[in-house]
Amino acid sequence: MRPPHPLPVYLQRFFTERLTSQLKASPNTVASYRDTFRLLLRYTAGQLRRPPTELQVADINAELIGLFLADIESTRGNSARSRNTRLSAIRSFFKYVAVNEPQLLHHCQRILAMPPKRHEKRTLDYLSRAEIEALIAAPDLSTWHGRRDRALLALALQTGLRVSELIGLSCGDIVLGAGTHVRCMGKGRKERATPIRRDSVKVLRSWLAERGGADVDPVFVSNRNQRLSRDAVEEIVRRHVRSASAKCPSLRKKRVTPHVLRHSAAMQLLQNGVDRTVIALWLGHESVETTQMYIHADIQLKEKAMARTRPIKVQPGRYQPDDKLLAFLEAL
């Protein structure tokens, strides 16, 4: 008889020991993994007609996970990218189980061998210089909210900070003296410092003076003097994009999110000749290869490259295969 391997025991250890203690995973990562297993456990309980507390690790096999991934695509409308994120969380758990329980190694290997689903990689969205200027000018500076929003937008568009990094900033993280910069705790718990331009310094100095907070107080706060949430930042961006589109109609054709502001900061650096290694450090990327996507998206860079080429002088005509087999292959 196979010894029992209760799922609740291993799952709790995975979150408390592996993610929290060993990997020091960020709150966003923990929340993403938590949501994945909430969905998976509910699906498994419905399929096996057993409550999650009575499940064994062996109950969740590769076949069931495949059905679960197909289900979240069809019933919840998840994209292939979201599906792959869920699979990555599941694989991380079973990698942990495989190390701690050799008896389940074969079971875990079948799950770890499940490939991610291929998906189309769309060209990333970003704002042009004119759109950036229109967006920063959109907030009404006669109001407290407008002055706060302008400082937030100016900082986001110049530094390329992630939303989590923006809302996590404290007043002491912004240094406006010699060597003006902003410090933040980025993805993977990596601290970095990003310089601030003179025009942004002026806006931030004015806002921090009005804010009047201590070093440990948040930079950007709500009406209740609490840190802004991710949803609040998204709403701020949406509201001012609508306002800015009156003067800059091209904004109406774009779906602008807080992450698009980050892309826009990166594209401004690239288009002004900054090396992609420096851009990777600026944005806090784990690898320089991650920055490659901005080169693919930069149509101006491609146009400059094309301008350096010369037309190929060849005789016009169309290739014609001279063999039936080659003709067959050509027609495929």
The residue-averaged pLDDT of 284-296 equals: 71
Q: What is the pLDDT of residue 304?
A: 65
* pLDDT digit string, tens, across residues 99-130: 999 999 999 999 999 999 987 766 788 899 99
Instruction: Give the DSSP letter of residue 113.
Output: T
Question: What confidence category does residue 273 fall into, taking pLDDT thresholds of 50, 70 and 90?
Answer: confident
- What are the structural domain ranges in the chain? 7-112, 129-307
Q: Which residue has the higher pLDDT, 119 or 20?
A: 20
Is 60 exceeded by the pLDDT of residue 244?
yes
Cα-Cα end-to-end distance for the chain: 55
Q: What residues are paired with 218 via a beta bridge?
A: 170
Q: Check residues 123 and 49 and name the one with the higher pLDDT.
A: 49
Average pLDDT of the segment spanning 200-210: 93
Q: What is the pLDDT of residue 189?
A: 72
Whether 241 shows a pLDDT value over 60: the answer reads yes
Average pLDDT of every residue of the chain: 87
Q: Report the pLDDT averaged over residues 71-89.
A: 92
Residues annotated as catalytic (active site), given as ranges: 162, 187, 259, 262, 285, 294
Name beta bridge partners: 175: 181
Residue 309 pLDDT exceeds 70 = no
Using a pLDDT cut of 90, give the percent of the chain over it: 60
129-307 in CATH: which number?
1.10.443.10
For residues 56 and 33, give the distance between their C-alpha atoms in angstroms, rounded to a whole number.
19
Tell me what pLDDT residue 1 has.
Answer: 44
pLDDT at 68 over 80: yes
Amino acid identity, position 166: L
pLDDT digits (tens, 9 = 90+) for 127-154: 999 999 999 999 999 999 999 999 999 9
Q: Determine the Cα–Cα distance for residues 304 and 297; give it in Å rounded to an integer.
A: 14
Report whether pLDDT(85) > 80.
Answer: yes
Rounded average pLDDT over 202-223: 92
Is residue 65 classed exposed, middle or buried when 0-12, 13-18 and 19+ CB atoms within 10 A define those classes?
buried
* Selected residue with higher pLDDT from 320 and 179: 179
Query: Residue 223: phi, psi to the nearest 5?
Result: -60, -30
In terms of Cβ atoms closer than 10 Å to its own Cβ (0-12, 13-18, 19+), residue 286 is exposed
> 94 burial class (0-12, 13-18, 19+ CB within 10 angstroms)?
buried
Mean pLDDT of 47-57: 94
Helix (H) or strand (E) holding 192: strand 191-195
At 115, list the tokens: 């490939």
**Range 269-282 average pLDDT:** 85
pLDDT at 319: 58
3-state secondary structure of 244: helix
| CA–CA distance, 65 with 91 (Å, rounded to integer) | 10
pLDDT tens sequence across 216-233: 999 999 988 899 998 999
Tokens of 52: 């999650």
Percent share of the chain, pLDDT over 70: 88
